[in-house]
Amino acid sequence: MDTKCVFLCSMNFQEFLPPFLLLLAILWMIGRLPYFSLSGVNSNWLQLAFLIKALAGMGMFYLYTYYYPVRNDADTFKYFDDSKYLYDAFWSKPGDFFKMLFGVGCENDYFFKTYYVKMNNWYLAYDNGLINDSRLIIRLNAIFRIFSFGNYHIHNLLLNLLSFVGLYSLMRLFIHVSGSKWKSYLAAFAVPSTIFWSSGILKEAVLIFAIGLFCWNFYRFVNGTYRWKTGLTILVLLPLLLVVKLYVFAGLITASAGLFLASRWKRVALSFLVCCLGFFVVVSVIGFVSPKYSFVELLVQKQHDFVELAKRAAAGSFIHTMKLDHSVGSILYNLPVGLLNSLTRPWPNDMHGLLFIPPFLENLVILFLIALVIIYPNRLDLKQKAFIWFAATFTVILFSIIGITTPIIGAIVRYKIPALPFLFILLLSAIKSTTLDHKLEVLVSRRKN
């Protein structure tokens, strides 16, 4: 019996039916709820996008079940598995459950011996003393377990829905800025790496959700929408971004500050350069006042941890990176190489399996689009230029940090996905495509009753 048959047989009827019904309910919701018609994009295209994400989530399950069978090392399973111990307390000792859920009064020997010793990821193998982002996903899965009956695929679909809402929010933002539905749809829903790595039980699903809603609401705030709900959403999402990925938070805050300043000052390029300089000043001051939170030391430690992890796991996609030496000069010197690695890797000689083909082709498309920007530049208005700078600032900061700290190509491909929609809309918006626009706009637009 081949692997495909084994996979299909492993999903018995009882395991398959609930997620299948949930999938149908989500597709119906996307087609019927007014929220999903606000973009003006045909609901059929949105349903197709979610269906592709659901299939990608199933593909991830298949991949880590049969090709990478060490379950404790697979992110998509380890948070799900650890959540069972937290969930069990909901029924046996509800007080313990809520203490662990909210992180109050649960760091002592009793909780360690009763719960944490059974988990593999409540404590990080490499602890830098900052917020443990793994616990957020464990807690979220524990909440899902209350009504999922421990069905992995229901968790997968729920997290898929979260990331879909984030990408949908980004698409709305891109449409508002570029005026093009088809370009915005492609940037949000047609980037293979983003779709795949945001479609499992992973931190990236929550991260994309938070980025999408934050960017859409912050852009509205900057451009004159001062509703209290907008401000509240921004305030709620900021700590979530801080918890999930600190370096994404840093890049997003710097780019957002530049966008805000540009909307008031009207000197777009200078606004973003000032904010980038301000970012380095702030992190330098923080490092001076509290060396424990020095941004330089955090990057050095992150690079060291990744190198150790690559050696321990004998990672096949390991690449050589210059060792950081605890100085700002070392960071700045290595930034261009880091940016290049994130932008162009994997190279042809880096290909060690089928999983490297999609990101390789993706990078070729990016380089092709860069060439088209040079040959067919588009004329942009002031707001579009400001957003292009916003997207470029966020992408460059993210790509640079990832490139200098991550010596594993597979990890680079995964970690850079928050910036890819911004990079693609940046490039697509900067290309003059008048001959295509009308036909493709009609294709993706929502039909009017």
pLDDT digits (tens, 9 = 90+) for 151-208: 999 999 999 999 999 999 999 999 999 989 999 999 999 999 999 999 989 999 999 9
**Within 13 Å and on the Cβ side, how many CA atoms surround 144?**
27
Asked, for residue 112, whether it belongs to a domain, the answer is: yes
Q: How far apart are CA 162 and CA 223, in angstroms?
A: 26
Predicted pLDDT of residue 282: 85
Same domain as 122, residue 269 = no
Predicted pLDDT of residue 5: 55
Highest mean pLDDT of the ranges 181-185, 327-331, 432-436: 181-185
Predicted pLDDT of residue 33: 94
368-386 average pLDDT score: 91
Q: Are 251 and 397 in contact (CB under 8 A)?
A: yes
Same domain as 129, residue 46 = no
Same domain as 121, residue 176 = no
Asked, for residue 108, whether it belongs to a domain, the answer is: yes
Helix axes 357-375, 420-429, angle to 10 degrees: 30
pLDDT at residue 129 above 50?
A: no
Same domain as 129, residue 266 = no
Asked, for residue 164, whether it belongs to a domain, the answer is: yes
pLDDT at residue 258 above 90?
A: yes
Same domain as 121, residue 105 = yes
The rounded Cα 153 to chain-centroid distance in angstroms is: 20
Of the listed ranges 37-41, 61-65, 433-437, the least confidently predicted one is 433-437
Predicted pLDDT of residue 30: 97
Same domain as 225, residue 98 = no
The whole-chain average pLDDT of the chain stands at 87
In the chain, % of residues over pLDDT 90: 54
Highest mean pLDDT of the ranges 270-274, 289-293, 442-446: 270-274
Asked, for residue 307, whether it belongs to a domain, the answer is: yes
Q: Are 41 and 181 in contact (CB under 8 A)?
A: yes
Asked, for residue 114, whether it belongs to a domain, the answer is: yes
Six token digits for residue 182: 């088809």
Banded model confidence at residue 322, pLDDT cuts 50, 70, 90 = confident
Asked, for residue 343, whether it belongs to a domain, the answer is: yes
pTM: 0.91
Same domain as 220, residue 114 = no
Asked, for residue 16, whether it belongs to a domain, the answer is: no
Q: Which DSSP string corresponds to 323-372?
A: PP-SSHHHHHHHHHHHHHHHHHPSPGGG--SGGGHHHHHHHHHHHHHHHH
In the chain, % of residues over pLDDT 70: 91
pLDDT at residue 304 above 70?
A: yes
261-281 average pLDDT score: 90
Same domain as 158, residue 144 = no
pLDDT tens for 76-117 read 898 999 999 999 999 999 999 999 999 899 989 999 999 999
327-346 average pLDDT score: 87
Six token digits for residue 77: 């399973």
Of the listed ranges 4-8, 275-279, 283-287, 316-320, the least confidently predicted one is 4-8
Maximum separation of any 2 CA atoms in the chain, in Å? 67
**Residue range(s) defining the domain that contains residue 94:** 74-150
Highest mean pLDDT of the ranges 7-11, 45-49, 64-68, 117-121: 45-49
Asked, for residue 350, whether it belongs to a domain, the answer is: yes
Alpha carbon separation from 40 to 37, 174, 218, 407, 442 (Å, rounded): 6, 12, 21, 42, 11
Helices (H), 116-189: 134-148, 152-178, 181-189
Domain count, the chain: 2
- Residue at a domain's end among 95, 118, 150: 150
Q: Which DSSP string corresponds to 384-419?
A: HHHHHHHHHHHHHHHHHHHHHH--BHHHHHHHTTTT
pLDDT tens for 25-59 read 999 999 999 999 999 999 999 999 999 999 999 99
- Residue at a domain's end among 91, 125, 150: 150
322-343 average pLDDT score: 85
Predicted pLDDT of residue 1: 47
